[in-house]
């Protein structure tokens, strides 16, 4: 029965793994719900500020902010949002693929790239590549706070104001539904105007204090809110992807256990048959 014993320990160990994956699945499910709520909560701010910026883009103050004006691109900044932890299926890989596609497009157009990395998975991936990294931030946790992102984003914004980068985009996963998340690339700078059909309000604002100072504050908040929204959305995606990955792991473990159980039963049966036939053979000899 040596074989049978080995199979039994193997079954026990797979059962333990299954328990873990099951627990991770349930944790991810509950975290996903909370992450989605957080995403919903972040929506109004992002929408409101996007409207304001859209108005501003149409407005004609005596001062044109660099964030609103298109210029010839030599270097492009990309903000890459990834997860801090693994075990979430192909989520990060898909995001990185999208980033590499973007990078290749830029390089074909003769534009250099500079990266801002959010999440330790992006760090692990892009540190091996040759692209310059301007800023990073990791370990945002399950409740990302907007202020944790300020520093990393400011480096890119400063780069844009100083003329080090001429364009800024963000790549993160978009939450389609629980089963599917797809990477999206959104251009942040220069800010794209809101479609004119969405605008019914007046945009001939009084600026207080000066337009320059004001736009600086508004644009920084706009970009930060977009990045924050990206981070929150990515978190919801991470949890959904992990939930699905862990569910399939649990299912696989179950299948494996069933198969092993069958093999174990057969081995046990064979051993019993052998024993009986030995006894019967012995009795016949007597």
Partner 1 sequence: MASTINVDIVSAEGAIHSGVAVMVFVPATQGELGIAPRHAPLLTLLKAGEVRVQTVEGEELSFYVGGGALEIQPQRVTVLADTAIRAHDLDEAHAMAAKQRAEELMSNAADEMGLAEAHAELLRAVTQLKMLDKFRKMRK
Tell me the C-alpha distance between 45 and 32, whole Å. 21
Is residue 199 within the footprint of partner 1 (CB under 8 A)?
Answer: no
The DSSP letter of residue 163 is T
Using the minimum distance from each CB to partner 1, give the nearer residue, 181 or 225: 225
Tell me the C-alpha distance between 61 and 53, whole Å. 13
Indicate which single residue of 141, 208, 282, 284 sits in contact with partner 1 (rule: CB under 8 A): 208
Helix (H, G, I), strand (E, B) or coil at 173: strand
Contact present, 68 and 190 (Cβ < 8 Å) = yes
User: How many residues bind to partner 1 according to rule CB under 8 A?
Assistant: 47
Is residue 206 within the footprint of partner 1 (CB under 8 A)?
Answer: yes
Is residue 110 within the footprint of partner 1 (CB under 8 A)?
Answer: no
Nearest of 218, 200, 201 to residue 209 by alpha carbon: 218
Tell me the C-alpha distance between 17 and 167, whole Å. 47
Helix (H, G, I), strand (E, B) or coil at 181: strand
Is residue 136 within the footprint of partner 1 (CB under 8 A)?
Answer: yes
Is residue 33 within the footprint of partner 1 (CB under 8 A)?
Answer: no
Is residue 141 within the footprint of partner 1 (CB under 8 A)?
Answer: no
Is residue 235 within the footprint of partner 1 (CB under 8 A)?
Answer: no
Indicate which single residue of 25, 102, 224, 238 sits in contact with partner 1 (rule: CB under 8 A): 224
Is residue 282 within the footprint of partner 1 (CB under 8 A)?
Answer: no
Q: Which two tokens stand for residue 54?
A: 């859209």
Contact present, 166 and 76 (Cβ < 8 Å) = yes
Binding footprint of partner 1 on the chain (CB under 8 A): 38, 41-42, 44-46, 48-49, 52, 56, 117, 123, 127-128, 132-138, 145-147, 150-152, 154-155, 158, 201-209, 213-214, 217-218, 221, 224-225, 228
């Amino acid at each position: 029965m040596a074989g049978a014993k080995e199979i039994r320990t193997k079954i026990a160990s797979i059962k333990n793994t299954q328990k873990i994956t099951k627990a991770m699945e349930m944790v991810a499910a509950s975290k996903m719900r909370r992450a989605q709520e957080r995403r919903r909560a972040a929506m109004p701010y992002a929408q409101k500020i996007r409207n304001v910026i859209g108005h501003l883009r149409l407005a004609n103050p005596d001062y044109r902010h660099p964030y609103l004006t298109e210029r010839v691109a030599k270097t492009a900044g990309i903000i890459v949002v990834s997860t801090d932890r693994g075990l979430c299926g192909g989520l990060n890989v898909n995001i990185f693929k999208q980033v590499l596609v973007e990078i290749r497009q830029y390089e074909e157009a003769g534009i250099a790239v500079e990266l801002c990395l959010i999440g330790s998975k992006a760090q692990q991936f892009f540190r091996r590549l040759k692209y310059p990294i301007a800023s990073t931030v990791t370990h945002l946790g399950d409740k990302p706070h907007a202020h944790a992102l300020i520093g990393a984003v400011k480096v890119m914004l400063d780069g844009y104001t100083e003329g080090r980068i001429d364009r800024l985009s963000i790549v993160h996963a978009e939450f389609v539904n629980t089963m599917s998340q797809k990477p999206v690339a959104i251009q942040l700078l220069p800010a794209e105007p809101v479609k004119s059909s969405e605008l019914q309000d007046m945009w001939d604002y009084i600026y207080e204090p000066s337009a320059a100072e004001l736009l600086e504050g508004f644009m920084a908040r706009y970009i930060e809110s977009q990045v924050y929204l990206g981070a929150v959305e990515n978190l919801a995606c991470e949890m959904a992807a992990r939930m699905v990955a862990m569910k399939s792991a649990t299912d696989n473990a179950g299948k494996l256990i069933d198969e092993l159980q069958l093999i174990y039963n057969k081995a046990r049966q064979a051993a019993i048959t052998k024993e009986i036939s030995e006894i019967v053979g012995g009795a016949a000899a007597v």
